[in-house]
Each structure stands twice: as structure tokens, then as C-alpha cells.
Structure 1
Amino acid sequence: MRRGVFYSLLVLLTSFIMGCSDDEYVYPPALTELLSVRTNASGTIDYLLPDRSAGLRVENGSKYSGMVPDSIYRLVAIYEIKDAKEPSAYIYTIGNVIAPEPIGQEQLAGEMKTDPVNIQSIWRSGDYLNMILLVKAQNKKHSFHFIEAQGANQTSCLRLTLYHDKGEDVEAYTQKAYLSVPLKKYSGIFSEGDPILFTINLYKEGLRTYQFTF
């Protein structure tokens, strides 16, 4: 049986992983979004693919190289839209977003983990359910995934739970984690208006379920 691939908080929470690192740098008017990017045959970013608008050609994509060629990545980006007549994008910095396709609980290598987090925001856009989590961590790996309820593909309601394993880390500092749940694989299973129920274990409230629709 194929086991789920889990995603490390340490990789994610290096803040923005590319671009300017000067804390005093002042960005011009820019957008900060969770979005997708496309790479070209050379493994550099050539297009931004925002959830709610048309794709944008990237002016400085060669700055972001070393990626898998001809692929789609989910990232958080600070960027500016240039030239209103033929819009393009200039990226100032990008960071990782955890975005694995949900799996069934039977695919877990061990037991289900729902270590608590806090949530800054959660919203649906395009083919994704996005969230910014506030995680208490110090310096050890945290693992995340999205787990389907049993029979989730056979009902008119998609039920998902956040998997979070903090391992042996100490709850020392609050750090942001960016996650996106890919929903495209459910397009032939659920209909427009069907509910999406997403459950997260919060520090003070315990298990809380957020509701969205397809």
C-alpha cells in the first residue's frame, strides 16, 4: 500500500525562500497571494496562475530556477503587476506552500495525529481550500497532510481533517504555515453547492469544523 507523503514545517517556515532578504527593504505596491506557478522547459518560472484571475507572464522568472521543468508549483508570492495593457508580473519573493492531495486514513503509516494549531485565516479560491496556520514550534520537524473521512468519495459531502504531527518539538515560538488543499480531483465526484467540511484541532477550542462549498 502506498503511504502518504508528509510535508515538513521546517522546509515551509523559512519564511520567503527566494528574493530580497533585507529586512528594511520597502516593497512598491504589490500583492501577496497563495497561487500556482508554471515552470518552463528550463525549470524556471514563466507564468503566475492566480486563483481568481488570468495567468501572468513573469518578467524575472530566470531568477527562480532549479525547479522541475514543465511543472506546476503551489507557492506564496509577493509580486507586482506591470503594464496594464499587456499585464505581466514581477516577483519580489516566493515561499513554499504545503499542498499535497488528500489521502484516506488507511494510507497513513501510523496513527492519525491532530496536534493543535491556531488559524489566522481560511478561505476557498479556485480549485483550492487555503489556510494560514499559526504553529507553536521551535526547531524540529512538523508533518502535515489532509485526510479524507472514510467513504468521502461516496457521499454528497467532502469531509477532511488536518493531519498535524509536531513530533517532539517544543511549543516555543509562533510561526506561520501556508497550506492549500487541492480540490480538482473531486470535480467529477461532487457537484456545485455540495459542502466541504474541514476539521482542525485548535489550541483553545479543540476540534472545529469549517464549512465551504464546491
Structure 2
Amino acid sequence: MKKLFRLIVIITVNCQLSTIISSCSQDVYDKGEGKYSLLRGDFAEAVVNSNQQVTKIVTDDGDELSLTAPYTAKWVSKADTTYRCMLYYNKVDNQAEVVSMGQVPCANIALLSDFDKPLLTDPVKFESTWMSKTGKYLNLSLQLKTGVTDDSTAAQSLAIISDTLVKHADSKQIRHLILYHDQGNVPEYYSTKVYLSIPTNRIDADSVRISINSYDGEVIAKHRIR
């Protein structure tokens, strides 16, 4: 039976907790695109209550909104925590009426010396990188070549790898990062958009330089962190 591909984000972390998870699967097909493209959309933190319901969101612009009704999803698997999400909603009386909400993985940064896999940089389609207005997240928008396959083991993998930390004479530090991507035997038939966020409180430098291997060649994205 042919199956849709799986996307594994290696070394992921709950955006608000220090617990490190070995890997997680991302449903790259549930991002509120298509028929929802004309609605208001924001990257946000989804605040979960003791009943595993999202009851409040904090957008990347810093707006804090309660939901008109509690929101539940399979990926909301922990109580009393916060998830990173992409949210499409209507703003009603200063509340958010959810139309679609999809989880956005938060990537920890793995040191190259500690990474226990070969460093793979299979190409992706690069769209953009940007800092959230609050400065809490560095975000990546990519497109991955995907398809259906009979291979049940096929799964693409992404990770953020730290290559070097460069210290300049003025005491400024630049963290050099690499986007790890393993195509993982997934066919390259069409493109699917995926998002990835890096919490900036996990970047131990004044700025970052991210190397991304795209189908058009290497892309270098630079951002000031603090």
C-alpha cells in the first residue's frame, strides 16, 4: 500500500520546557493552507490547560488572545504546557475563533561533535527565514520534495546542527549552523511546505549564520539574535 511520507525533526524540544525529545513526526499536510489562505494567520504559542486543551494563544507579534472555545488535537498530548503552532483564525471580540491549528516543531541545536549520524544536506526548496517580532523564535519556511511510496520506512529528517562558534575581537559571537536534511528514500514528485522554529534562548551567540543546501545552491541566512 502506498503511503504518504513522514517527516522527522531530530532533536526537538517543547518550546517552553527543557525536556528534549529524540524525534517527533510532523503532519505536514495540516497547516491551514489552501481554502484557508485568505484567513488571518499567525505563528503563535498555544497554551494548554490541565485537560489537554488549548485555551489561549500568544502570537509572534506579542498579542495574547483567549480562544472562543477550547481546542483539541492529536498533537496536543501533554497538559499544562505550551506548543508552537501555525494558527488560522477569526478575531472575534478580542478572542481567537480557531479555523485551523497545526503544530510547528521547535528545533534544539545539536553540536556536530555530538551528532551520531552522517551529516546529510540533501537539497530543499528555500523560501525564507525570519525572526519573530518578540525575538523569541528564529523561523524557517522550506519546501520539501515529497511523494507516495510502497516503502514503509521512507521518512525525511530535518535537524539544526551547530558547526562552529566564531568569536570576534569585539567580543561578538556568531553561531554557524547547518540545516541537516535526509531525503530518506521519499520520492521527489511534488513540493510540500514545512515550517521549523528555533527558540532563540537556545542560541548562545549574538547572531547566527545558517547554511541551507537548496536546489539552486547553498543559501546563507544571517540573523542578529541580541
Same fold (TM over 0.5): yes
More strand by share: 2
Corresponding residue for residue 103 of structure 1? 110
Q: Distance in 2 between matches of 1:16 and 1:60?
A: 20
How high is the sequence identity, in percent, across the aligned residues?
Answer: 23
Cα RMSD over matched residues? 2.6
Residue 7 of structure 1, CA deviation: 4.4
Matched residue, 1:75: 85
Q: Unaligned regions of 5+ residues in structure 1, if any?
A: none
Residue aligning to 2:162: 148
**CA distance in 2: counterparts of 1:166 and 1:26, whole angstroms:** 29
Report what 2:182 is aligned to.
165
State whether structure 2 residue 222 is matched by structure 1 residue 211: yes
Going from structure 1 to structure 2, the CA distance change for 1:58 and 1:204 (only over 3 Å counts) comes to same
Q: Do the aligned residues in 1 keep the contact of 2:156 with 2:183 (CA within 8 Å)?
A: yes
Q: Please give the per-residue CA displacement for 1:40-99, whole angstroms capped at 9, x wherever unaligned.
A: 11110011111222211111224447531011111111012221xxx2111111112121
Deviation at 1:138, TM superposition (A): 1.3
Q: Provide TM-score, normalisation by structure 1.
A: 0.80
- Structure 2 counterpart SS, 1:59: strand
Amino acid in structure 1 at the alignment position of 2:28: L
| 1:127 aligned partner, one-letter code | K
Which residue number in structure 2 is paired with residue 177 of structure 1?
A: 194
On the 8 A contact 1:105/1:147 being kept in 2, the answer is yes
The separation in 1 between residues aligned to 2:201 and 2:88, in whole angstroms, is: 25
**1:45-124 pair list within 5 angstroms:** 45-64=54-73, 66-83=76-93, 87-124=94-131
What residue ranges of structure 2 are gaps of 5+ in the alignment? 1-9, 12-21, 149-153
* Contact map agreement 2:43 2:86 (CA 8 A) in 1: yes
Q: Output the amino acid matched with 2:212.
A: I
TM superposition score normalised by structure 2? 0.76
Offset, 1:26: 6.6
8 Å contact from structure 2 (residues 164, 177) kept in 1: no
Residues 102 and 182 in structure 1, CA contact (< 8 A), matched pair in contact too:
no
User: Are the aligned partners of 1:39 and 1:70 in contact in 2 as well (CA < 8 Å)?
Assistant: yes
